[in-house]
Structure 1
């Protein structure tokens, strides 16, 4: 029981430190040592072998994808490609539909392979202008952009090239399009639900006299004549998705193709028009790599913590409690992933920790219950995008900070659209998967 208490204490301490803005690079090892100490493990071995093994294994497997994804996103940002594509979508659906257009744009960029952490930088100036025209309070901007960047496009939409959708493939032998019907239905819930909620909140604030107000620093919006054509940005997106889902190629190959193709198209098109979209390609590559290192280090730190938890005596008790939950085995999977994603403040970290420890049990449950592994894949991917949207989540902190909106003004709506509604979609996914929908 002491070991089980240590796991709970370690998780609580990790949540507290992350919420206070402390780096997981030192917070996660300390919390892991708390788990090791209460579990009777050798502290030196727990850190140098168990913790670091989990840390290094994740870097070894996923760094190429993190790096290429970050570079691709940086190219789209620095060249103005993401802005060009966003403006094209806004023009298509209409500037009067500010919230709908913003969510759609964020989802399109994320589905095309751009990291959600990068999307905020490209979309913020445009969304700011849309909200100003519609007289919508700025406090809803972080939640609006996050809906597109981190909900349906991250985990539910079949074929999305995000790491949250690819991690289950490794454990279940599934593909990125696993359980497409469940994925599409849940994507609709995670798109329509937030749009309706945010539209309701905008009307409510406007009726109370709270409309748009200019920020202290208004970012400069890039002129259209300085942007590359939208098709230059859209083609690499399509290539990445097609290579991943039609030709079933490794995500590293898909992202590399997207990076190379985007550079070629931007260079050739720029030569034709006499323009330079990337003034310093080397600097763009540098920033992309730096972003990738920061992202994967934090996620790996969380995974390392989970590796120590997994070898502690209390984990067997905890696993028995979770796996012993009555009803559909999809409930146990969802609860385990949600708790770990919330504790680490990382969707990918919580998903990896849970599957690393419990995937064999889920596979057995699949065989005994008759529920296909594709359903376990989709339910698990959706589950990691629920409770991870805690106040200490890196994306939450980044979005609020960049938009200069304090937690007390912007977080509630972020949790509703990127936490509560995805949890509702997760429940729907469990029901659908249990009754045989794939």
Structure 2
């Protein structure tokens, strides 16, 4: 009992310190040590750090670092070249300024589905959103929710083919691809988009009836820079390359070659299915980066500086998530965790529902979609893969439901994306968090229940 208490105490400490601003890279091994001390005699402290924590951290880093690196560089170049703003401006022109909420959501959705990171999207779209909302008389407090709906809901975990890290993490465990369970993903994506838009429009209408308007934000007039922007076709081409090449490389090009060498000791006897999707994303993102540079060389004033900034910007989120994976590996090695694991598994007999519950709870506790899912799959991924195989469940369903579970309740106040987005919009939790939670988490939670219900009742997907 003391050992189980130690596990929950260490996790509570990790959450508390992270919310207080302590860097996870530093505190994760400390929190793992707290759990070990509660389980005295089970694991050695230093041996666990060097032989369990660090190898798990390193393995995650080795697998996903190319995605973090190329995604960050791609996003930075899309920003520096003006491509992100050009796409947002064109969507606004098509949709019309009177549909300001829809324009912002669609602009964010297209950019994030094309591989641009949330933070780049927020910086690029916020000035446009502020101008549109002010002109339309829509409260500024709804801007974070509009950006959030387009950035970290359906384009992050539901739409098949999205290069988001949350859609890549399940791949090695279930030997799937980023196109896993397209039917389930599309149903969930449509529901998230429709319910989120319904909520935001109703909130805007209610504010209009009360005569609220944009609000008193006279000090905040973000400049909308439209100078030297590329044409829409030029701006959109890298995104189309990411989407198209992901599909072509994973489905046709890479499988057409001889990969028998992977079955040798030199290449770790790895199954092609375990690395295929990662290779496809890397190839697509690298090609898109080259395309941005070639088409916008004169618009990018400091190419080396932009690439360096993107590279350095990828390291912190990568290391944060990898540290949480290392922490999870230590917890999973404790004898007390076997009791916790069995308890979590007993919450539902169906592996699909059980996996969704575990990922949802851990993502909520850590305040991180990628961190919670990494903890869950790092500790129990092998079990769920075998359970799905024994129950004759399509592993693609396990992939998609794990991804969706990571977004079901992760938008809590201590979530890093929430804090950053509110800071960019110069708003507080009191002003905007409620609407951000409703469209960022509640829509994903409801969409998960919808597809789980369809899976259980009519057996679709």
Normalised by the size of structure 1, how large is the TM-score?
0.95
SS in 1 for 2:85: helix
Calculate the aligned-residue CA RMSD, in Å.
1.5
SS in 2 for 1:129: helix
Shift of 1:279: 0.8
Question: Which residue is equivalent to 1:221?
Answer: 224
The 5 Å alignment of 1:280-429 reads 280-429=302-451
Q: Contact conserved, 1:18 with 1:345, CA < 8 A, in 2?
A: no
SS in 1 for 2:170: helix
Question: Can you list the C-alpha shifts for 1:88-138, whole angstroms capped at 9, x where unaligned?
Answer: 111112221111111111111011011112210010001111111111111
- Measured in 2, the distance between the counterparts of 1:247 and 1:430 equals 31
- Measured in 2, the distance between the counterparts of 1:60 and 1:287 equals 21
Shift of 1:321: 1.0
Question: Can you list the C-alpha shifts for 1:202-251, whole angstroms capped at 9, x where unaligned?
Answer: 2222333322133523221112x421111112111111111112320521
The 5 Å alignment of 1:175-324 reads 175-213=177-215, 214=217, 216-223=219-226, 225-248=227-250, 249-267=279-297, 276-324=298-346
User: How many residues are paired up?
Assistant: 429
- Measured in 1, the distance between the counterparts of 2:170 and 2:61 equals 17
SS in 1 for 2:414: coil
Shift of 1:49: 2.6
Among 163, 166, 176, which residue is 1:164 paired with? 166
Shift of 1:259: 0.4
- Measured in 1, the distance between the counterparts of 2:387 and 2:455 equals 13
Question: Which residue is equivalent to 1:13?
Answer: 13
Q: Which runs of 4+ in 1 moved over 3 A?
A: none
Change in 2 beyond 3 A, CA 1:6/1:215: farther
- Measured in 1, the distance between the counterparts of 2:120 and 2:301 equals 19
Unaligned runs of 5+ in 2: 251-278
Question: Which residue is equivalent to 2:49?
Answer: 47
- Measured in 1, the distance between the counterparts of 2:141 and 2:336 equals 43
Unaligned runs of 5+ in 1: 268-275
The 10-residue stretch of structure 1 (133-142 or 356-365) with the greater mean CA deviation from structure 2? 356-365
Q: Contact conserved, 1:371 with 1:433, CA < 8 A, in 2?
A: no
- Measured in 1, the distance between the counterparts of 2:303 and 2:443 equals 40
Question: Which residue is equivalent to 1:96?
Answer: 98
Question: Can you list the C-alpha shifts for 1:403-436, whole angstroms capped at 9, x where unaligned?
Answer: 1111111111111111111011111122233342
Shift of 1:325: 2.1
SS in 2 for 1:96: helix
Q: Contact conserved, 2:249 with 2:280, CA < 8 A, in 1?
A: no
Question: Which residue is equivalent to 2:61?
Answer: 59
Q: Contact conserved, 2:82 with 2:229, CA < 8 A, in 1?
A: yes
- 2:459 aligned with 1:436, yes or no? yes
Change in 2 beyond 3 A, CA 1:209/1:283: same
The 10-residue stretch of structure 1 (134-143 or 244-253) with the greater mean CA deviation from structure 2? 244-253
Q: Contact conserved, 1:155 with 1:381, CA < 8 A, in 2?
A: yes
Shift of 1:327: 4.6
- Measured in 1, the distance between the counterparts of 2:196 and 2:322 equals 30
Shift of 1:80: 1.0
- Measured in 1, the distance between the counterparts of 2:59 and 2:386 equals 25
Question: Can you list the C-alpha shifts for 1:276-310, whole angstroms capped at 9, x where unaligned?
Answer: 31111111112111210111111112112111111
- 2:38 aligned with 1:35, yes or no? no
Q: Contact conserved, 1:28 with 1:305, CA < 8 A, in 2?
A: yes
- Measured in 2, the distance between the counterparts of 1:371 and 1:428 equals 18
The 10-residue stretch of structure 1 (257-266 or 244-253) with the greater mean CA deviation from structure 2? 244-253
Q: Contact conserved, 1:371 with 1:436, CA < 8 A, in 2?
A: no
The 10-residue stretch of structure 1 (92-101 or 39-48) with the greater mean CA deviation from structure 2? 39-48
SS in 2 for 1:349: helix
Q: Contact conserved, 1:340 with 1:354, CA < 8 A, in 2?
A: yes
